[in-house]
Amino acid sequence: MPSRMLAPWHVLLAPLPADARVERKPVASPEQLAAGTADAIAGWESLSVNLSDPPRGLRHVLVTVDGDGTLLSAGDWVLVSRAEVRDGVEMTIHDHHNIGGRFEPDGFFRGTVWRTQSEQRDEDDDAVMVSSAPSTPTDADVDALRRLVADVMRRAPERA
């Protein structure tokens, strides 16, 4: 696998590229709403951004808002893969970084940052987790997430 620079958006909480597209989708399906099983979340929507640079990495940003457009939760998930040779064996190392949680009515963010690494010896084998560490988001993490959320909400298409 050739080595090359990663796109700037491959970093957790990094600004989105200018051409990133936000998709707006209802949280509840029409079938759930018709059956009355999703009344509590009627009108809720997910605003998502999916970025991809195979085989190097993926990023998914997800924001959930209620029917009034009030922010409920947000997350940023990044997967970066790279090749390494260990003991003469080429393997793929997957670095997963994410932050996610909910925003309380008072504006407090209740969430977690995860950093996980897995290894995959062969593309047909399942990746094996090597390490996984949760941590509490720093104030800087929460500020960056708020900026990311504001950008996603600004770019979101109008409600249908």
Model pLDDT, residue 37 = 84
Query: Which residues is 91 bridged to in the sheet?
Result: 84
Angle, vertex CA 114, rays to CA 87 and CA 149, nearest 5: 130
pTM score, whole prediction:
0.86
**Listed residue (128, 124, 126, 101) closest to 116, CA to CA:** 128
In a domain, 160, yes or no: no
Whether 146 is in a domain gets the answer yes
In a domain, 34, yes or no: yes
Asked, for residue 86, whether it belongs to a domain, the answer is: yes
- Any domain includes 60: yes
Question: Which residue range is the domain that position 106 belongs to?
Answer: 8-155
Please tell me the distance from the alpha carbon of residue 86 to that of residue 54, in angstroms, as a whole number: 23
3 in any annotated domain: no
Please report the pLDDT score of residue 2 as a whole number. Answer: 38
Count how many domains the chain has: 1
In a domain, 1, yes or no: no
Residue for token digits 């970084």? 97
Looking at residue 33, what is its pLDDT?
Answer: 84
| Each residue's pLDDT expressed in tens, for the chain with a length of 160 residues | 334 566 788 899 999 999 999 999 989 888 888 888 888 888 899 999 999 987 778 999 999 999 999 999 999 999 998 888 888 888 888 899 999 999 999 999 999 999 999 888 876 677 787 889 999 999 999 999 999 999 999 999 998 7
